[in-house]
Structure 1
Amino acid sequence: MHNRKLFIVLTITFVSVYLLFKAFPGDGENEGRTQEIVKITNTLGKSWILPDEDTIMMEPLNSTRGTPPPYMLVMVITSPANQKRRSLLRNQFQTWENMAKNWNITIKFLFFLGGSNEDETSMDKLFQEGSQHRDLVIDDFHETYLNLTLKSCRMLKWVNLRYPSVPLLAKLDDDVYINWDLIFGFLRNKDAPNLIAGSPFSSAYPVADPTSKFYTPPIVWETGTGYPTYACGVFYILGKRVRQELYKGALSTRLFHMEDMFLTGIVRERFLPDVGIQEIKEYISTLHLEGNPWSILYSGWGPCQFYEGVAVAHSLSVKRLQCFFRIGYFCKNGFVHAVKILCPKE
C-alpha cells in the first residue's frame, strides 16, 4: 500500500514538472541562446569574418569596373524572404539618385544578405533576382539575428574590397524610411573621411530580460555597467577612414552579438577614440501612426511638415513605407492637397 502511494505521488510530480516545462519552454531556449551569445563573445573577429577567404556567393557583375566610384554607397541590409521590400525600394532608387544629383552627389544602392541556409529553390529565385537587377550581394552565412554582427562585418569586407575608395558608406535596414534631401543637407561641410553619423545611444545599458532580443547575459557584460556610445544600427553613415579602421579593428576584437554596439561602440572606442558619433537630429526611432492621414505626422504635424522634418524612421511595414514614399512624392512636387492617403492600422 505504501509503495502504491509513493508511486502515485512520484507520477503526479513527474507529470506536473513535465507540464510545467511544456507550458514554459522558454527557459531551455533562453539557456541555449545565452550559450550562443557567450560563444560569439569568445570569438575573435577574424575567425568568423575570414578576411583572406572569398565568402561571396553572388555579386553584381562588373559593378565597379570602368566607372568612378559614387560619392556614397548605400548597402541595404535585407533578408532572402524580403523580396517585396527590395522591390519597393528599387522603385525609389532612381528618384533618390536624381535627388542626389541636385546636391552634386553621386549615390549607388545595393542589397546585402546571407544565403547559406536557403534551400535550392529559394537560392534559384535569389540568383534570378540578382541576375535581373544586378544589385544583390549574397554572402555565405546563415541569416539569424545573432549573426547580424557577422553580417555587418562581411558587408564591410566586401565594400573595402570592391569599393575601396568610396568616400561614404551608408548602412540601411530594409524597413527604414529615409528623406535623402535631409541627409544630403546634413552632409554638407562634414569631415567625410572621419565621419560616423546616425542616432547615438549614449546612455545604453545591457538588457537583463532573457526573453528580449537585446538580452545580454551578465557573464558577457555586467548588468548595470553602461555600453560605450554607439550609433543605432538601422541607419548610419561611415567615412572612408572610419570604415576601413572599423573593419581592421573588428578582425582583432572579440565579437559582440549587437552589431551596432560592436562596430560603432566597442571597436570605435578601441581603435578610433578621437572619432565621435555625429547626430542626425531628425532621426525618429518609432512612429505610432493611426489610420487618419493627418495623424501620420509626428506631434500633430501635417503630411508635408512630416516630409520636411523627418530624416529617418524605422521598423515600418511595406504598406507604411509605400505611404511614406507617396507623401514624399506629393510634397516634393507641390501636390499638397493630393495627400489623401491612409496609412493602414496594423
Structure 2
Amino acid sequence: MLMSCRPNVHGATSTAQGIHLLPMELPSAAVINPAHNVRGKMSFIRRLGLGCIILAFLGLLYVPAYHSAQGPLGIGETTSSGPSKLSRYLKPVEELHGWSFNASRNLNWYIHPHINTTILSPNDSCTVSPSPYLLIVVCSAVGNQQQRMAIRDTWASETDLNSYNSTAIKVVFLLGQSDNETLNNSILEESHEYGDIVQEKFIDTYNNLTIKSVMLLKWVTTNCPQATYLMKTDDDMYINIDNLVKALKSRPQSSGTLIGALICHARPILDPKNKWYTPKYMFSEKMYPNYLSGTGYVMSVDVASKLYQSALSTPLLHLEDVYITGLCAGRAELKPVDHPGFSYVQRKLDTCTLRSVITAHKVDTSTMHAIWNKLKNSNTTCREKNATVQHRHGRNVGYFPVKKRASSKHCG
C-alpha cells in the first residue's frame, strides 16, 4: 500500500491514514546567520595558527644550543651523540670532524680558566734567575718522541742555550692527552727524564689545535708572567736562536710585540675533502683577517695575556693561527707584524740561507741534525747578497689560497 505525505497550507502534514506529523524544528538564528558563521571560522583559524606558532617556538627551544661533539677535556666536558634531527635539515654544509653543527665553540667550556688543568709541568720553567728572557713552547703531538729528541739534541740543546749567559732561554714541549694509555705513560717517563714537558688535560687531535694554543697561553700567563718574550712553534721547525735573540734585542721595546710570517688576503677553503676545510657555520666571512703563520710566531708576554683574555670571549675556530693571531688579536686591538726571518715554506739546505733566517719549516729528524751540523761546523763565508732572507712566494701554501703574499711589514 502506498502512502503519501504533503504539507498543507498551515504547515501541518497528513497522510491517507490521518497520521499527523509534527512540524520540523527550525535551526537557530546563529546557524543561519552567514556573518556569524564566517567569524566563527576565522576565530578557529586564528586559534589554530597561534597554536602552531607556539609549538614551533617550543620545538626551537628544545634544540640543544651548546654541547661538545668530542668532549676534548677530561673534566667538565659536555658530550653529544650527534647533531639533532633539526640541525640535519638546517646545516648548509658538511660538518667538520670534531666540531659538529651543534658543538659549543665557547673556549671556557674547554679551557676552564679558573681550574688547574695542567697534568705535567717542569718544576724550574720560570724559576730560573734571571727570569726567562725568551720562553719557547714547542707544540708537539703525544707520539712524536723522536721529533722532540731531535730538537733536544740540536737547536734546543742545553749546552747551546747556556751559552747565552745572562739571556735566559727556556724550551718546553706542550702536549695534550692521548686515548692510548701506553702513550700517556711514556710521556710520564719522558717528563721524569728530561723535565721539559707541559701536558694539559685535553684530547690531542689536529682539530683541537686551537684548544692547544689557548692552553699554551693559559699556562704561560699562569706560570711564567715574568718572562719577556714567548715563542709558539711546532716540532717540525728548526729555530735559529742566535738570529731570533738578535732580532728581539734590536727592538726598541718588548711590549706590544706580535711578529712572525704575516699572511694576508687568505680565503677559507670550502672543500669538505680538504684537510683545512672551514665550513660556513665556523667562519662565514669571505676572507680571514691578516694573521701570522702558526709554524712560528713570537709575542711579548703582555700580548700573550691580552690574547688569552680575548680568546675566552671569541668563538672558537679550529685553525689556531687564524684564531689566535687574527681573530683574537683583532678583538684585543693588536696588530700582527711581518718579520722576514720567519717563513712557512720549506727552506733550501743552503748554509748561507740558513744562517740568515730565524725559522725553517717541514724539518724531519734527519734534516734537523743536518741543519745543525751545517750551522755549527761549516766554514763557508757568505756574501751579503747571498745572505738575504728567502721570500715566501706561491699560492695555496698551507690551508689557504693566498691572494697577495706578505713581502713587507704591511698587507694592503
Tell whether the structures are fold-level matches, with TM greater than 0.5.
Answer: yes
CA shift, 1:55, in A, is 1.1
CA distance in 2, matches of 1:192, 1:226: 30
CA distance in 2, matches of 1:256, 1:286: 23
CA shift, 1:116, in A, is 4.6
In the alignment, which of 93, 97, 120 is matched to residue 161 of structure 2?
Answer: 97
CA distance in 1, matches of 2:147, 2:102: 32
Tell whether 2:336 aligns with 1:277. Answer: yes
Aligned pairs for 1:6-85 within 5 A: 31-33=94-96, 36=99, 38-39=101-102, 42-65=104-127, 67-85=129-147
Q: Percent identity?
A: 29
1:183-234 residue CA offsets vs partner (Å, 9 max, x unmatched): 12221332312100100111111012212221111233236x1111111001
Tell me if the contact between 1:99 and 1:181 (Cα under 8 Å) persists in the aligned partners: no
The one-letter code of the counterpart of 2:331 is R
* Corresponding residue SS for 1:165: coil
Partner of 2:179: 117
Tell whether 2:303 aligns with 1:239. Answer: no
What is the TM-score when the length of structure 2 is the normalising length? 0.65
Against the structure 1 CA distance between its residues 239 and 66, is the aligned structure 2 distance closer, same or farther, given a 3 Å change threshold?
closer
Structure 1 unaligned spans of 5+? 1-29, 289-295, 298-302, 337-346
Tell me if the contact between 2:119 and 2:199 (Cα under 8 Å) persists in the aligned partners: yes
CA distance in 2, matches of 1:89, 1:210: 34
Tell me if the contact between 1:116 and 1:142 (Cα under 8 Å) persists in the aligned partners: yes
Partner of 1:226: 287
Tell whether 2:230 aligns with 1:169. Answer: yes
Aligned pairs for 1:285-300 within 5 A: 285-287=344-346, 296-297=348-349
Tell whether 2:355 aligns with 1:308. Answer: yes
CA shift, 1:65, in A, is 4.1
CA distance in 2, matches of 1:112, 1:68: 23
CA shift, 1:136, in A, is 0.5
Partner of 2:190: 129
The one-letter code of the counterpart of 2:211 is L
Tell whether 2:387 aligns with 1:328. Answer: no
1:47-68 residue CA offsets vs partner (Å, 9 max, x unmatched): 2110011111111235444744
CA distance in 2, matches of 1:64, 1:309: 29
In the alignment, which of 201, 217, 230 is matched to residue 263 of structure 2?
Answer: 201
CA distance in 1, matches of 2:110, 2:375: 41
The one-letter code of the counterpart of 2:138 is V
- The count of corresponding residues between Structure 1 and Structure 2 is 286
Against the structure 1 CA distance between its residues 105 and 209, is the aligned structure 2 distance closer, same or farther, given a 3 Å change threshold?
same
**Which entry has the higher C-alpha Rg, 1 or 2?**
2
Tell me if the contact between 2:96 and 2:277 (Cα under 8 Å) persists in the aligned partners: no
Tell whether 2:311 aligns with 1:250. Answer: yes
Structure 2 unaligned spans of 5+? 1-92, 382-412
CA shift, 1:122, in A, is 1.9
Tell me if the contact between 2:136 and 2:231 (Cα under 8 Å) persists in the aligned partners: yes
The one-letter code of the counterpart of 2:352 is Q
- The higher relative CO (CA closer than 8 Å, separation ≥ 6) is in 1
Tell whether 2:240 aligns with 1:179. Answer: yes
1:143-186 residue CA offsets vs partner (Å, 9 max, x unmatched): 11110000011111111111111111111101001212221222
What is the TM-score when the length of structure 1 is the normalising length? 0.77
Q: Kindly indicate which of the two structures has a greater share of residues assigned to helix.
A: 1
